[in-house]
Amino acid sequence: MPNATTESVLQTVQNNDYRTSLVALRDKLAADIDSPETTARDRAGIVKQLQSVLADIESIPDAEKFAHTPLDQILGGSG
């Protein structure tokens, strides 16, 4: 199972979408935290990484939220 998750993160990152890559990384880190194979010492480090990734995700506006604004209509975008 770890290989499937790793490949999924790799494929996502290769698409060059920063927000989507962070979400994939968030999911991988969360899975690692829940894994019985993760030691308590490693878990503490992963939690810190997860906190950082969550903050990064939170700081990026959700593209879906702004996809169809009145400005898009003025500029000829769909909406």
> Is the CB of residue 12 less than 8 Å from the CB of residue 21?
yes
Is pTM beyond 0.75 here? no
pLDDT reported for residue 27: 95
Nearest to 65 by CA among 53, 79, 52, 51: 79
Q: What is the largest CA-CA distance in the chain?
A: 55
pLDDT reported for residue 77: 58
Tens-digit pLDDT profile for the chain (79 aa)?
Answer: 344 455 688 899 898 899 999 999 999 999 999 999 999 999 999 999 999 999 999 999 876 666 666 666 677 655 4
In angstroms, the CA 26 to CA 57 distance is: 9
Amino acid (one-letter) located at 74: I
pLDDT reported for residue 8: 81
